[in-house]
Amino acid sequence: MSVLALVFALWLLLWGGVLLAFAVPLAARWREPVLRCPLLIIESDDWGAGPLAQAAALLRLSALLQGVRDSHGRPAVMTLGVVLEVPDGARMAATGCAEYHALTLADTRFEGVRAAMQDGIEAGVFAPQLHGQCHYWPAAVMAAAQMDGAVRAWLGAADPAASEDLPSHLQSRWVDAASLPSRTLSTDAIQRAVADEASAYQAVFGSVPQVAVATTFVWNDVVEAAWREAGVDVIITPGRRATCRNANGQPACVDATMLTAERSLTGQTYLVRDVYFEPALGHDVPRVVDGLQQRTRQGRACLVETHRFNFLRAPERSFAALETALHQALAVCPGLRFITPLELAHALHAHDADSVETRLRPRLRAWRARLDEIPRFRRIAQLTGLMLPLRLLGGTT
């Protein structure tokens, strides 16, 4: 064997070693379905029980979304992560916040909010999904209120409270974060709470929730199993699952990562929401447009995360940014389609020929575009020269 052939053989061996070392994430990204056309979903959390100004904001959003249509004539879709309860401030204050009292979305005070949601659902622009009975664990907030005057004042406020005003760690529903690091809730408590909130959701929307998104993206296996019992088929994730709040109050104890269409232990479909668009925090239109283009190259749907606070606290900026982002998305991806998370999950698992790619070359191209996100892989592939054949394989430069 010539020296050149030996060097070449060693080089191939090196590439093989690199591919073997990253076999698990590489294979997972090959198994992940590749979508045939650009898909966009605006995911919007925290709507429901809370400030009454939501009614007008929801009506305005509904009108805005109905005015933006894809090439099939379908209006833009925004999910509403729904919260079904806030504290009943007047009753709480009357007892000096010694007892917890709930004000639910079914209360007559929220008639306008419910009507605005229903209006958008019937127009095909709102897709409700379960965010939680409350955006907190009541016992944890009650315990925190003993030590924290601001939390006590929040519980006893005269107007329906905005959960965004709670300290971040207390906004997690599925842990007891009264003190940090958080403590795990009992299985019984979680099961009872999920069953109750699924019933409350059904009472307002007429059907059980099929899609769930945990508040602050902190949840665990027990929550998923309880959601399964309640009828939830699809779980919105940021691609990883945090199960606690650490000593600094941040989401932590990550015990799982997930790609789109992977299944939970109890069989639900995971979707990944990982483009962030909060105009009130200075996120601008390119966030959506760039995110859409990148996910389209990766053969993925673009799920954009936003929150109601944008539309309540910086309405002019946020409505304008959303409308511009939707129009620009259509301009850069003329084949763009709007879709709900439930429809997306069903299309992925039905291998719907209209939606899911089966041809080898486009699948290779999408796979190649997904590899840069694997930690350290891009650097090692560049150093070893493996990037070159991968680029050729994907037909990209």
| Binding region for Zn ion (CB under 5 A) | 45-46, 215
Q: Which is nearer to Zn ion, 215 or 268 (CB)?
A: 215
DSSP secondary structure letter of residue 386: T
Residue position matching structure tokens 């050149």: 4
Task: Kindly state the smallest distance separating residue 213's Cβ from Zn ion, in Å.
Answer: 8
- Is residue 293 within 8 A of residue 260, CB to CB? The reply is no
Task: Kindly state the smallest distance separating residue 381's Cβ from Zn ion, in Å.
Answer: 37
Residue nearest to Zn ion (CB): 45
Task: Kindly state the smallest distance separating residue 164's Cβ from Zn ion, in Å.
Answer: 8
Q: Which is nearer to Zn ion, 15 or 217 (CB)?
A: 217
Task: Kindly state the smallest distance separating residue 171's Cβ from Zn ion, in Å.
Answer: 7
Q: Which is nearer to Zn ion, 32 or 46 (CB)?
A: 46
Q: Which is nearer to Zn ion, 132 or 156 (CB)?
A: 132
Task: Kindly state the smallest distance separating residue 304's Cβ from Zn ion, in Å.
Answer: 15
Q: Which residues are paired to 234 by β-bridges?
A: 211, 269
**Tokens in use for 314?**
């910086």
Q: Which is nearer to Zn ion, 83 or 301 (CB)?
A: 83
**In the chain, where does DSSP find H-type helix?**
3-21, 23-31, 54-66, 89-94, 111-122, 138-147, 149-155, 187-205, 221-230, 285-297, 308-313, 315-332, 341-350, 360-370, 377-384, 387-394
What's the burial of 240, exposed, middle or buried (CB within 10 Å: 0-12/13-18/19+)?
A: middle
DSSP secondary structure letter of residue 238: S
Q: How far apart are CA 248 and CA 250, in angstroms?
A: 6
- Is residue 133 within 8 A of residue 49, CB to CB? The reply is no
Task: Kindly state the smallest distance separating residue 26's Cβ from Zn ion, in Å.
Answer: 34
Q: Which is nearer to Zn ion, 220 or 306 (CB)?
A: 306
SS3 79: strand
Q: Which is nearer to Zn ion, 18 or 218 (CB)?
A: 218
Q: How far apart are CA 114 and CA 48, in angstroms?
A: 7
Task: Kindly state the smallest distance separating residue 147's Cβ from Zn ion, in Å.
Answer: 24
**Tokens in use for 97?**
């916040």
